[in-house]
A = this chain, B = another copy of it.
């Protein structure tokens, strides 16, 4: 299905690593919906990825490597993008997150603070950097839409999610804070989407992720949302149908966030003799 929802729109998509990535699926769907896109990822991630294949499948999209913690790289990215696209963009997807503490298996209570600063810089402050450069260059059109991917660990504790939980809280705060200022100044809207746990390369690095995916699925009345469905939701947020939604964190999770307990989870606590 395609509706021409993004016909004539232009955008930049961060974080498409491989075909498991939500950003990858967003790129595909944005292309299908008529958008012209630029793809970007960290240089180190790009060497591992298959982003050129994606670029070809998306109408020979421009690919610009950029480390989202480098203001120089971001300046270059926006300059190249505006040159290539012929002006400012309509949408931006921020799908960036990495925790050295998770990678090095440091327990949350034994965190390494240099790593912690890096987790914040890569996973949260990078959104601020993107928006600051965009505002300086007036690189997002009026009523443009920025979406960053978040997770419910920003609101509640999931023990193995480690300092990424704090990073997602910070990310959502940045979306609100910058959303206010960019909204007042240029009607640009900024939201985060809090997605079901998804089997991406990043997700699968979290300890106990398989059990957690099963638990979340059992807790969600509609089951876990897939990456493909998430991409559809992002498209709706980029479209003109959602122009007055801003500074929100939007749960896309099959109802997980407002389910206290499901019958299938509680069944695990039944006394076997009573069951």
Contacts and interface: CB of A to CB of B under 8 A. Distances in A.
A166 B159 contact: no
Interface residues of A, number: 95
Closest 7 CB pairs of A and B: A183-B221, A225-B244, A169-B173, A156-B260, A3-B3, A157-B180, A236-B241
Given A181-B108, A266-B215, A259 B247 contact: yes
Contact of A233 (B125, B211, B245): B245
Contacts of A56: none
Contacts of A271: 210-211
A269 B269 CA distance: 12
A107 B154 CA distance: 25
Contact of A252 (B165, B215, B245): B245
Contact of A169 (B172, B181, B254, B263): B172
Nearest to A208: B266
A128 interface: yes
A202 interface: no
A258 B211 contact: no
B120 A156 contact: no
Nearest to A270: B211
Interface string A159-183: 1000101100110111011111111
Given A166-B174, A236-B242, A247-B221, A180 B132 contact: no
A40 interface: no
